[in-house]
Structure 1
Amino acid sequence: MEIATSNIIKSDAGRDSGKLFVVTSTDGEYLWLVDGKSRKVEQPKRKKRKHVAFVAEGTTRLAQKIQHGEHITNSEVRRALAEFREDIQMDQEG
């Protein structure tokens, strides 16, 4: 699966290994990632594609805002990732 803007990914390498991020933009082999907490919208993390794993396609209001180039906030990113974690947890429980 090709990783695109607004997708949710998991870091596979580095200090942030295992953390979930939202892709705010792509540039060749690099992705710009935010999680709203340690990596804010104002200073996204640049990471190589080979060091991340695709988790889910962004389908939330946040994903639509990112795709249309609208301003997003750190709280929106945190909320979207929290909702995604809850969905995953509910799927695993039952």
Structure 2
Amino acid sequence: MLSKNLSVGQVVESTSGRDIGRLFFIIKVVDDQYVLISDGKKRKLDQPKLKKVKHLKRYNVINNEVKNKILSCEYLTDAFLRAQLTKLDLSV
């Protein structure tokens, strides 16, 4: 399904729920239907949001800094996630 196209560190946008229109990073791909997402502001790293893949709009942007920190189990902060999201220019 869609999770084959999803990767840790990828930028996604919520298309349903209370967080509609917000940008997030994928923190973990749980299975083919669910991922854990965080933005460092409303959804912090200590409590990422479990979200269905069908409720996400996928961007072809993978932040390698975030991806490498997650995969190598380096210390990752909410402030770092917020800074990386503000650097993005996602002209649709």
Which range, TM-score by smaller chain?
0.7 to 0.9
Name 2:77's counterpart in structure 1.
73
Percent of aligned positions with the same letter in both sequences?
Answer: 31
Higher Cα Rg, which structure = 1
Conserved? CA contact 1:6–1:67, under 8 Å: no
Aligned to 1:6: 9
Structure 1 residue 5, shift from structure 2 partner: 1.0
Q: Distance in 2 between matches of 1:13 and 1:55?
A: 16
Q: Distance in 2 between matches of 1:79 and 1:56?
A: 19
Quick one: which of 6, 15, 20 aligns to 1:17? 20
State the partner residue of 1:33. Answer: 37
Q: Which residue of 1 aligns with 2:59?
A: 55
Give 5+ residue unaligned stretches, structure 1: none
For the residues of structure 2 that align with 1:55 and 1:7, how far apart are their CA atoms?
Answer: 7
Q: TM-score, normalised by structure 1?
A: 0.83
- Aligned partner of residue 42 in structure 2, secondary structure: coil
Q: Contact (CA 8 Å) 2:9, 2:64: kept in 1 or not? A: no
Q: Which runs of 4 or more aligned residues in structure 1 lie more than 6 Å from their structure 2 counterparts after TM superposition?
A: none
Structure 2 residue ranges without an equivalent (≥5): none
Structure number with higher helix proportion: 1
Q: 1:50 is aligned with what amino acid?
A: K
Deviations along 1:9-46, one digit per CA (max 9) or x if unpaired, are 00011111110000100111111010001000110000
**Counterpart of 1:88 in 2: which secondary structure?**
coil
Structure 2 CA distance for aligned equivalents of residues 23 and 43 of structure 1: 13
After superposing the two structures, state which structure 1 stretch, 53-62 or 10-19, moved more: 53-62
